[in-house]
Amino acid sequence: MKHYSVAIDGPSGAGKSTLARAVAGKFGFLYVDTGAIYRTVGLSALRAGVDPKDAGAVTALLPETRVELSHADDGLQHMYLNGEDVTEQIRTPEVSMAASAVAAYASVRAFLMDAQRDLAKTHNVVMDGRDIGTVVLPDADVKIFLTASAQERAWRRTLELSKRGTPKPYEEVLAELEARDRDDANRTEAPLRQAADAVRLDNTQLTFQETVDAMSEIIQGRIDV
């Protein structure tokens, strides 16, 4: 049976997760947040007292690292590290930096590749990440490169952190975001870049709903849903 796949890539803070989840819900597709998977590996390193920047030590940790995910009825993706639900714990700025570091290793990317591809083989998916349209699902039916200006993305993240009760100054958020953008785009393994056949959508000036509508239109123009 044919399963449809929608690949959503772009820099952090463009709203990929919330938007991809909303769009998946609208079309009845499974939403897969691949960033959460890298975050879980990042958390695993931190918990083991391993420096995420130490490629060898992180790689050595992989055979004893069990990463699983499940989807709640409301579409929320839960992440499990060695059986423990770490859905909340992977959302700290510290884990963001660790995830960015471990995501640069070929060993980590290979370790997580099959799980991502298997999900797309067995479900209609909206999958968000950095290399979904370029590496993980190069034959995806729809590819969207979702972006916004660094200032707008930092502003949104600042609001989010403050809502979560862990406020951080805008300037600091912007600096961290720009550093992470640079790392994600300049790494050798699966760097963040737009696939040649992806549609670029810049939502700096768009509301959430306007972005959902624009994404839906792109999807409907390419697949029969």
| Residues at the interface with ligand DC (CB under 6 A) | 12, 34-36, 38-39, 96, 99-100, 103, 129-132, 180, 184
Residue 178 burial (C-beta neighbours within 10 Å; 0-12, 13-18, 19+)? middle
Cβ-based nearer residue to ligand DC, 100 or 221:
100
Cβ-based nearer residue to ligand DC, 14 or 217:
14
Of 221, 199, 203, 224, the closest CA to residue 212 belongs to 203
Cβ-based nearer residue to ligand DC, 103 or 199:
103
Per-position DSSP letters for 106-160, written without gaps between them: HHHHHHHHHHHHHHHHHS-EEEEESSIIIII-TT-SEEEEEE--HHHHHHHHHHH
Please say whether the beta carbons of 200 and 194 come within 8 A.
yes
Q: Closest separation between CB of residue 128 and ligand DC, Å? A: 7
* Pure H helices in the chain: 16-27, 34-47, 55-61, 93-102, 106-122, 150-163, 170-186, 208-220
Cβ-based nearer residue to ligand DC, 34 or 158:
34
Cβ-based nearer residue to ligand DC, 81 or 131:
131
Please say whether the beta carbons of 219 and 23 come within 8 A.
yes
Q: Closest separation between CB of residue 13 and ligand DC, Å? A: 8
Strand ranges across the sheet with 84-85: 67-71, 77-81, 84-85
Cβ-based nearer residue to ligand DC, 114 or 217:
114
Of 126, 129, 130, 118, the closest CA to residue 142 belongs to 126
